[in-house]
Structures are given as C-alpha cells and as structure tokens.
C-alpha cells in the first residue's frame, strides 16, 4: 500500500478549470493520487512515465497504430499512473470504445478533454494544487519531527515519546528492546480501560500470523493481522536501528483509526530519534557500567580489604554497598556462542542487551553488572529467601527468548553480611553452575548450599580424586571398556534404586538374575562388597566423583 503526496483525480476534477472534463470510465479509481502531470508526445511513452502521473494526450503519436492504442491503457494501469486524459477531435474523432472498456476493467480513470481547451489550462492549476498539498504535508512533517525530537531531548525520552505518538496517530503504541521487553508504551485515553500493555505485548509475541514486509505508504515496514481485545487489527512493526546497531522495535496498531501517510512518516521519524536517544543513553550507561564493573570485579575477586573504601566507591556510583548480599551468576556462554553463530553478535552486545533489559524490570536496590560471560547480580536482604531469589532469577531469564532460556544456568552463592566477604559468595555461585553442568540437572537455578556432598567432591585435588578412583571404580571402567559390558551402568542404577534389584532390572531393561550376576562381577572386579557399608559408600562416592574428572572424557573441574 503506497500513498503518494498529491491530490486525487476526484479533487482535481473539482478544480474550476476542470469543470468541463468528462469522466468516461474508471470512476472507482478516482481516489488515485496525482503527483505529476505529463504530456504524451512519443509512441513509447510507457517507458518514461512514473507512478502517480496524470497523462494528457491527443493520441497523435499512435493514432494509426491499433496495437499501440489497444496496449496503452493496460500498460499505464500496470505502471500505476493516476489516470489518462484524451482530447479527441483533431487527430481522432472519438475515443475508441475498447479504450473505454479497458479503463473500466482496470478502474483506471479515463477523462475526455474538451477540444477547445489547451493542456496548459489543466496542467497549471493541477500542479499548483499538488504543490500546495505537498508544501502543507512538508510543513506538518517538519513540525512533527521537531515536536518528537524535542520530546526525546527535553521531556523524559522514550516514556514521553510514546505518549506524544499516541496523541498524533490516535492508536496504541509500544516500544520494546530487541528482546521484546517493554521500554515504553501508551494507549489512547478512550481505550485505557479496554487495553493493557500486556495485551499489546501478547499480540507482538504471537507467532501464529506471519509478518509480511511490504511498502506501506512508501515506507518499508513489517505488518501482520492480529487479534487485540477480540478485534482483528493490523499491527505495524518498525525496527529501531542505526547503521551498526539494532536496539528494538516500534509497534503501532490500527485499532480505531487507519494509519495514513503522515502517521507512517511520524512513526518512522520516531523510530530514528528513539534509536539516537537509546544510543546516547547507552553511551553514557556504558561509561557508568565500566566503572561499576571495575568495582564489582575488585569486590568479587577479593581485591579490596577496606570496607569503607568499597562503600565510598559505591556511593560515587549510586550503589549502596553498606549491607549484606548474596551473589547470583547467570552463565551466558552457550547463549553467546549460539547467537554469535546465528547473528554474528559480539559478546559484549549480547550481554549488554540482556543487562539493559533486566535492569528495566528489577528493583532499584539490586545491583547488576557483567563479568566475562556472566551477568552478575548482588541480591540484598537481611537473610536468605530462596523463593524471592528464584522469582528474581526467573524475571531475568524471562528477558531471554523462550527457545534460548535452556542455554542459561543460574548459580546462587550464600548470603554474606559483610561486603568484604562477597568474593566467597561469588565463588560459590560459579561453583554451583559448574557442578550443576556436570550433573546435567534439569532445572536452571542452582543454590550452592543445596549441592550437598558435591560441594566437597568439587574441591578435592585432582590427584586425590584419581587415587581414590583407582582404588574403587577405575577397574570397573577398564573392564567395561575391554569387554563391552555395562557394569558401571548397572552400579549407577543400583544406587539410584536404593539397592532394590527388581527396580534395577526394570530401570535398565534386563532380567533380575542378570542384575544379580552383574553385581557379583562388580564386587569381584573392584574388590569391594556391596554388603559392607564402608565399601558401599566408597563406590557411591566414586560414582559421584566421576562427574568431576576427565576419566569419562569430560574436563576435570577445579
């Protein structure tokens, strides 16, 4: 759908000089817009005309060429001209009936110009009116651009921008970041009790109707049909971008009022100044984040041993560090790897995008930054509250696309009352992630204090681990490898089923007697008895310890 800035054929016919012009056909196309006026002087005029032109002719150049006469109107309609005005009487007596029929079939306005009128009598007033319309449109556009620019510069940026946009286009507006987290939105007052930001966001995230990229009033935009408050409407999506960055999207719904050329121009300009505003704020935020991250790094690495120094540095950056925290670590390594492969995004861009999205939805007293492939949160509180921590962690995870959330693991260290000791909580949070990754657990939020015996196994020296395994389970591994057996698998099932042989048989799909035989082989090979509590404990610990060695082909965790 492309709307040209000019006047319609119907408006042109209302001009005083056009009062004697007769409409022969194509009345359904009288809403076509005229942007230029041209005169046909050559037979190959179709190669030179442009969309939106109103063409005048006497047909002199093709009067004796029947094929050219028959092809003229279909080709002009295909080129999306506004219409054709023919002046008969000098070179042709009457306009051919087949041309009238073609014009009607194509809803293409065909006008009959009086013989005693010169083309200039029509051209000048039409062009003058088009110029007036285009000038007024330009004035409106410039005024809108100025208002929107000043709004971002002087009136609280994007929050105010969406409100001003709604006043201009009379339809709901939503601004999101690239992760579809809301940055700003506004709804016309009359629909405030009908629509909510959640309604808007739901239609944005629906994948049922595919987006189509099309030219809307001369601008490339994406568009899809959605259901908003039980009403089928069109949703227009405009990216917020600069040549080197993608910051998010600007959405508008045709809820009550059709979005016209001026509205689209307004939205496109709004997306441009939104990008500049975000870029400016991001530049400032990046400087602030750099210093915050440096302080976080010093704290979490235990480089500062003076509490008052930490508190003072925090105050300079509006960070209240004179209280207790526990560290929450979000591991983005796999997510970064995937997005780098798919989108070519740099690590720092991915992390900063998620960090910005997270900061918009968390409480002000939670401090966040990024270190390496981690997002870091200092979660405050007088005592540990697991449910609150889980709720917060899930909020942050929710800014990540649903399909990618499984790539992110969260580790939670123990609460530390003194900021000086926060490096221990950080170490615990990372350890929780490393241990959980080795264990391949299904959930994605791991508390260090819930690791149980794995906290101890993780910290044992590599040589000590290997020595312990040599005296317990390594012979079993070697036997399985040499004889292609599954004794290790059987032993795991034995402990997982608490020694119930019937359940072990069902779990690994073998006969009960086979289980019994395999356990006897395990005892003989290892030299340990499953009836002896100490031997049994050693074997169970050895199985758990395998997760933290390179014996099975994994990396030893230290």
**pLDDT tens, 518-534?**
999 888 898 888 888 88
Distance CA 313, CA 34 (A): 65
Q: Has residue 267 got a pLDDT over 80?
A: yes
3-state helix, strand, coil in the chain (%, to 5): 50, 15, 30
Residue 228, pLDDT above cutoff 90: no
Mean pLDDT of 186-205: 86
Summary count for the chain: helices (H), strands (E): 19, 18
Helix spans in 212-328 (H): 261-300, 307-316
Q: Identify the bridge partners of residue 83 per DSSP, sorted by sequence position.
A: 54
Q: What 3 state SS string does 367-407 have?
A: EEEEECCEEEEEEECCCCCHHHHHHHHHHHHCCCCHHHHHH
Give the integer Cα–Cα distance in Å for 249 and 179: 9
> Can you tell me which residue has the tokens 């036997």?
479
Q: How confident is the model at residue 108 (pLDDT cuts 50, 70, 90)?
A: very high
- Judge whether residue 107 has pLDDT over 90: yes
Residue where the block lists tokens 């072990």: 504
How far apart, in whole angstroms, are the C-alpha atoms of residue 506 and residue 535? 25
Sheet of 374-380: strand order equals 367-371, 374-380, 325-331, 409-412, 445-447
pLDDT band at residue 71 using 50, 70 and 90 as cut-offs:
very high
pLDDT score of 555: 43
- Give the separation between CA 263 and CA 286, rounded to whole angstroms: 34
Distance CA 547, CA 157 (A): 51
Residue 231 pLDDT: 86
Q: Is the pLDDT of residue 345 over 60?
A: no
Predicted confidence band at 111 (pLDDT cuts at 50, 70, 90)? very high
Residue 265 has a CB neighbour count (10 Å cut-off) of 19
């Amino acid at each position: 759908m492309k709307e040209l800035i000019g006047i319609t054929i119907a408006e042109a016919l209302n001009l005083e000089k056009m009062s004697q012009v007769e409409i022969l056909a194509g009345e359904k196309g009288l809403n076509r817009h005229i942007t230029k006026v041209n005169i046909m002087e050559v037979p190959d005029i179709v190669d030179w005309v442009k969309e939106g032109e109103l063409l005048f002719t006497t047909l002199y150049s093709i009067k004796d060429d029947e094929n050219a006469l028959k092809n003229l109107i279909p080709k002009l309609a295909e080129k999306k001209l506004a219409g054709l005005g023919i002046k008969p009487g000098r070179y042709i007596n009457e306009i051919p009936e087949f041309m009238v029929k073609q014009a009607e079939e194509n809803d293409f306005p065909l006008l009959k110009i009086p013989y005693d009128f010169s083309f200039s009598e029509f051209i000048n007033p039409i062009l003058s009116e088009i110029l007036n319309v285009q000038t007024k449109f330009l004035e409106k556009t410039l005024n809108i651009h100025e208002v929107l620019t000043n709004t971002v510069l002087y009136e609280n940026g994007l929050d105010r921008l969406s409100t001003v946009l709604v006043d201009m286009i009379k339809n709901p507006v939503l601004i999101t970041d690239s992760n579809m987290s809301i940055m700003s939105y506004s709804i016309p007052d009359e629909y405030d009790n009908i629509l909510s930001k959640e309604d808007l966001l739901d239609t944005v995230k629906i994948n049922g109707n595919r987006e189509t990229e099309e030219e809307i009033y001369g601008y490339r935009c994406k568009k899809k049909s959605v259901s908003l408050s039980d009403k089928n409407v069109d949703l227009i999506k405009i990216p917020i971008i600069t040549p080197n960055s993608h910051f998010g999207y600007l959405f508008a719904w045709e809820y009550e009022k059709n979005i016209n050329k001026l509205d689209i121009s307004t939205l496109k300009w709004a997306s441009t100044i939104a990008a500049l505003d975000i870029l400016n704020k991001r530049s400032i935020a990046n400087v602030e984040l750099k210093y915050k991250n440096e302080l976080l790094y010093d704290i979490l690495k235990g480089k500062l041993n003076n509490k008052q120094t930490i508190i003072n540095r925090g105050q300079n950056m509006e960070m209240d560090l004179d209280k207790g925290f526990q560290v929450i670590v979000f591991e983005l390594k796999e997510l970064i790897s995937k997005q780098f492969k798919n989108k070519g995004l740099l690590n720092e861009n991915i992390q900063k995008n998620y960090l910005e999205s997270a900061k918009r939805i968390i409480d002000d007293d939670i401090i966040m930054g990024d270190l390496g492939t981690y997002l870091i949160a200092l979660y405050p509180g007088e005592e540990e509250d697991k449910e609150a921590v889980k709720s917060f962690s899930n909020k942050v995870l929710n800014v990540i696309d649903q399909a990618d959330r499984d790539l992110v693991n969260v580790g939670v260290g123990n609460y530390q009352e003194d900021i000086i000791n926060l490096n221990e909580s950080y170490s615990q949070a990372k350890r929780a992630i490393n241990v959980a990754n080795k264990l391949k657990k299904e959930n994605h939020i791991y508390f260090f204090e819930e690791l149980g015996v794995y906290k101890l196994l993780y910290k044992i020296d590599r040589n000590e681990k290997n020595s312990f395994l040599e005296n317990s389970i390594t012979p079993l591994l070697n036997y399985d490898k040499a004889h292609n057996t599954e004794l290790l698998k059987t032993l795991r099932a034995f402990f997982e089923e608490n020694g119930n042989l019937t359940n072990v048989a069902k779990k690994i799909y073998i006969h009960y007697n086979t289980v019994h035989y395999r356990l006897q082989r395990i005892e003989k090979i290892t030299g340990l008895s499953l009836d002896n509590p100490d031997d049994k404990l050693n074997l169970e610990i050895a199985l758990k310890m395998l997760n933290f060695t390179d014996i099975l082909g994994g990396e030893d965790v230290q």
